[in-house]
Amino acid sequence: MKDQASKPHFETSAIRTQQDRSQFLEHSTPIYLTSSFVFEDAEDMRTSFAEEKERNIYSRFTNPNTSEFVDKVCEMEGAEAGYAFATGMSAVFSTLAALLNSGDHVLSARSIFGSTFTLMTKFLPKWNISTTFFNSNDLDQLESLVQSNTKIIYAESPTNPGVDILDLQRLGDFAKKHELLLVIDNCFATPYLQQPIQFGADLVIHSATKLMDGQGRVLGGITVGNAALIREIYLFSRNTGPALAPFNAWVLSKSLETLAVRVDKHCENALKVAQFLEKQLAVDWVKYPFLPSHPHYEIAKKQMKAGGNIIAFQVKGGVKAGEAFLNALQLCSLSANLGDTKTIVTHPASTTHSKLPEKDRLAVGISDGLVRVSVGLEHYKDIINDLNQALQKIEM
């Protein structure tokens, strides 16, 4: 471990972590749009392929831009190593596919990103990998669900779209006790608000598409954590090809330089919007991790620096009221993304989760009137004014 006093702070490593400069001594890292790299001679080529030294060979393996992005996220998460992917889902898939064998079992929180759920229920079974889901609000269940073939415990916190908080320390202790790998999708929190490795996570996954880019421009994903596990993931990925493109890596690496200031402002705006919503007559309830009314407020305070930018709330009047509310919005966007500078509002019951039978939808906390807001960086008064005028349009 490095001496604490000499270790740069989060914001500093986000800005100062970079690859060696080229012969031109550029200040800002250039984009290395090259598919391959040249060798000095046959001996250089042989030792490079034998991995006797660390160097770039081919951009499916490594590239200076993806390496810079990976190094930054490793610094931020306190991780030993990482690998960057084209999307968050390729990070999730490659991580699970690299580490699981036929016959293995995954214990996963039920409240996870939709495509991750589909991966576990529709595709992993093709390779004889099974998953049992636990209720994110009931970690007492875990002991009874673990099997002799369980290898990975998988979760997200805060969850989507319910904004529940899972106690990461409890998950870390549980994983250790049963010798399971703990994999946390840390997308909603970002490493600025929460570092799951501190609580015992072996691997941390991000969709960099969300707050890491934060400006709605590029897709990307990353997995960081234990070096031996990352080595497995690297070997799988180097041979299957989900690599992040150098241009997108460059965008993401630049974005990380402003992650702390952006996320601070996102959280400040979100708390103000959540406090506003809590006072509205047309709103049944509001869930935001840093509101004292949140059922897991104490855990959120313990493991997060601030509450994040996602708010869940329920409008009175069910699906119709939810749709009427969305239709009345003028500033906020209706869009599938989140973690953008622009505030985005979604109504899961009529969109992302409309195909789920009502019973299953309710079981994961998606009520008819549930609205999810990804609070952006506009002035908070303009966001509140827009939500306010749209709430007035709901017939109660």
Ligand X SMILES: *Cc1c(COP(=O)(O)O)cnc(C)c1O
Using rule CB under 6 A, residue 374 touches ligand X: no
Using rule CB under 6 A, residue 89 touches ligand X: yes
Instruction: Please say which residue, 366 or 391, places its beta carbon nearer to ligand X.
Output: 366
Do residues 68 and 29 make contact, with C-beta atoms less than 8 angstroms apart? yes
To ligand X, the closest distance from the beta carbon of 37 in angstroms equals: 27
Query: Counting beta carbons within 10 angstroms of the beta carbon of residue 350, is it exposed (0 to 12), middle (13 to 18) or buried (19 or more)?
Result: middle
Beta strands 150-156 and 105-109 are parallel
Instruction: Please say which residue, 345 or 390, places its beta carbon nearer to ligand X.
Output: 345
To ligand X, the closest distance from the beta carbon of 108 in angstroms equals: 12
Instruction: Please say which residue, 113 or 276, places its beta carbon nearer to ligand X.
Output: 113
Do residues 119 and 93 make contact, with C-beta atoms less than 8 angstroms apart? yes
How far apart CA 131 and CA 126 sit, in angstroms, is: 12
Select the residue interacting with ligand X from 62, 160, 269, 309 (CB under 6 A): 160
Piece of 5-13, 184-192, 248-256, 302-310 that binds ligand X (CB under 6 A): 184-192
Do residues 344 and 216 make contact, with C-beta atoms less than 8 angstroms apart? no
User: Please, which of residues 5-34 interact with ligand X by CB under 6 A?
Assistant: none
How far apart CA 54 and CA 47 sit, in angstroms, is: 10
To ligand X, the closest distance from the beta carbon of 221 in angstroms equals: 5
Question: Closest-CB residue for ligand X?
Answer: 88
Q: Which of 376, 383, 396, 82 is nearest to 244 (CA)?
A: 82
Residue with tokens 């960057």: 84
Select the residue interacting with ligand X from 167, 185, 368, 386 (CB under 6 A): 185
Piece of 163-171, 203-211, 241-249, 274-282 that binds ligand X (CB under 6 A): 203-211
Q: How far apart are the first and last CA of the chain?
A: 59
Do residues 293 and 286 make contact, with C-beta atoms less than 8 angstroms apart? yes
Using rule CB under 6 A, residue 221 touches ligand X: yes
Using CB under 6 A, list all residues that contact ligand X: 87-89, 113, 156, 160, 185, 187-188, 207, 209-210, 219, 221
